[in-house]
A and B are shown apart, each in its own frame.
Chain A
């Protein structure tokens, strides 16, 4: 039994594509984090586009697909583009986004002109040069694999050896300079590494879409951890999963290019991460809001019921209407809230019509009432807010005061007996 079969990779070409794409996932996932945290996505895209004229010129000189010449041409063109954009930003009044757009279109335009010339000369079809724009995994050759492997080793070595420099230079370039780190060299090496990653993705994903592989995995990772190193690991895994799905999809639909499928699955994953990220995801935030709304509803019901019974010695059962005369809560909400409170044993009812606070419920209601009145007192005593202006603010603040803050308030106000409206502040016995 062939282990490759487990992954649906019996076919030799498929296997080759898969290996090349995995290498791309690892290198792009690692380097992408630097690009992402430095907010250099646009620069990454510009470099990718700028490789085209370099590749074309290299081909015109070598008259064939020569990997060495190709790397040389691409590297020179990519670095030229970066320094050209930087020059525009420093020496003219052009803002950085404009400078990058100008660079990108200038280089890519030249690249297309050269490519058209090469195509008309009839050399391009055999060379596979036209594949570099959109990528074409299916036409990958074994020689491409050796090329990619060599580049990957160089890229990973650069990243590992220079990691400290790259990291410090990315976080605080001024500090990096003051401790004597070679800023210009670090900048150059980072750009070189970036060009290397883009070259690795050239054959499979292509110039137009490679930036997605740099940015999206890191963007996904940023949802899960604030640690830079862990982000690299997550980014690699994310890139790997997306590329695997993309490759399989493109094998399933012949004549479909791999690069776009990879980017589509990567983008889907990015979107899913934004939706379902554990802390700041849209869904998590929705749940949090919902919990908050219910908490406020519950606390308001308990507080209102407590206050109705505050002056009477016994704990009377209350109907919905009686609660509503003290505080307007829409009937449907009130009913639902009471049922939920019942489940938590904070209120009880014998007939589902009249409700009574349990001991725990009364204590909670008392606490919210106390917090409300403490906060009112704090506002009027420490913030000089008139006593007829403090109620609305206390209505919202009472729900977020923690036991620690409550204690501090009590000490600061010296366990006061009355709020600014001369109402008694209730304490637990």
Chain B
């Protein structure tokens, strides 16, 4: 059974088309990797799935429905560089935000919420840091805090944008351990990842992406030399020319 259906997705970002005709099914309860070179549109795909940037065409469905019908079932962890680490906020307050999806803007934080916050913190091993300023943490710890916030959301689907960027190997292994335990708990996890070598170990399912979808399926089938060659190999010259023209013309077919 698939948790997410992506159908004929086209997305332009910064006035340049990034994703072309993406069609993919993402299976329930598995760890799926989105793999591709820099500028392949991996993060754009995730943002488009979350409705953070407009679609030129196509749709994304979660459990057969729009995202808006599933807000509390889907959790998104942004890239670490997108966060203002100087912001005056403590670890526990970041994790508390995970509850706001259910509480909304006005409902009070209850003792049940507090328990969930505590549990999420200890699940990622950050209990001892609950009162720390987020800016004081190391990169790996920051990533764990945001993972804890996602856990506190108690979602079913987790979309993670480059969670291993700028993190040492030992921390990456720890994060992967947590992610694997989430899978055991029946969660669906989608990870944008750039390291091909570890990708083959981490993911049950994979999407090879380079502006278009090159392959999607079980890791064992997708990580074939000719498909990887196609993903990481040279650009398509005519496609590049079209993208440049799109940008130069300020083209917007949808008005």
| A and B are partners in one complex rather than unrelated chains | yes
Number of A-B contacts (CB under 8 A): 59
Q: Do A168 and B97 touch across chains, with their CB atoms under 8 A apart?
A: yes
Of B55-63, B98-106, B171-179, B232-240, the one with at least 4 CB within 8 A of chain A: B98-106
Of A158-166, A344-352, A411-419, the one with at least 4 CB within 8 A of chain B: A158-166
Say yes or no: is A175 at the interface (Cβ < 8 Å to chain B). Answer: yes
Top-4 shortest CB links A-B: A179-B101, A226-B133, A180-B71, A178-B76
Say yes or no: is B21 at the interface (Cβ < 8 Å to chain A). Answer: no
With both beta carbons as reference points, the residue of chain A lying nearest to B102 in the complex is identified as: A179
A162 to B100, CA, bound (A): 13
Q: Do A174 and B101 touch across chains, with their CB atoms under 8 A apart?
A: no
Residues of B within 8 A of A396 (CB): none
Complex partner residue of B52 from A168, A172, A177, A179, CB under 8 angstroms: A177
Q: Do B87 and A171 touch across chains, with their CB atoms under 8 A apart?
A: yes
A164 to B50, CA, bound (A): 22
A161 to B106, CA, bound (A): 7
Say yes or no: is B184 at the interface (Cβ < 8 Å to chain A). Answer: no
Say yes or no: is B82 at the interface (Cβ < 8 Å to chain A). Answer: yes
Q: Do A37 and B101 touch across chains, with their CB atoms under 8 A apart?
A: no
Say yes or no: is B226 at the interface (Cβ < 8 Å to chain A). Answer: no
Q: Do A174 and B71 touch across chains, with their CB atoms under 8 A apart?
A: no
Q: Do A181 and B52 touch across chains, with their CB atoms under 8 A apart?
A: no
Chain A residues numbered 141-170 whose CB sits less than 8 Å from any CB in chain B: 161-162, 164-165, 168, 170
Say yes or no: is A429 at the interface (Cβ < 8 Å to chain B). Answer: no
Tally of contact residues, B, Cβ under 8 A = 28
Show 12 A/B contacts (Cβ-Cβ < 8 Å), sorted by A: A168-B97, A168-B100, A171-B84, A171-B89, A172-B97, A175-B78, A177-B52, A179-B72, A179-B101, A179-B153, A180-B68, A227-B90
Say yes or no: is B83 at the interface (Cβ < 8 Å to chain A). Answer: yes
Say yes or no: is B88 at the interface (Cβ < 8 Å to chain A). Answer: yes
Q: Do A180 and B88 touch across chains, with their CB atoms under 8 A apart?
A: no
* A181 and B88 contact, Cβ closer than 8 Å, known pairs A168-B97, A174-B78: no
Say yes or no: is A222 at the interface (Cβ < 8 Å to chain B). Answer: yes
Complex partner residue of B97 from A175, A180, A225, CB under 8 angstroms: A175
Residues of B within 8 A of A165 (CB): 105
Q: Do B88 and A174 touch across chains, with their CB atoms under 8 A apart?
A: no
A227 to B133, CA, bound (A): 8
A231 to B101, CA, bound (A): 26
Q: Do B88 and A37 touch across chains, with their CB atoms under 8 A apart?
A: yes
A112 CB to nearest B CB, Å? 36
Say yes or no: is A84 at the interface (Cβ < 8 Å to chain B). Answer: no
A222 CB to nearest B CB, Å? 7
Contact with A along B129-156 (1 / 0, CB 8 A): 0000101000000000000010001000
With A170-B87, A227-B88, A227-B90 given, can you name 19 additional A-B contacts, CB distance below 8 Å? A162-B105, A164-B100, A164-B105, A164-B106, A168-B100, A171-B84, A174-B52, A174-B82, A178-B74, A179-B71, A179-B101, A180-B68, A180-B101, A181-B100, A181-B105, A222-B88, A226-B88, A226-B90, A226-B133
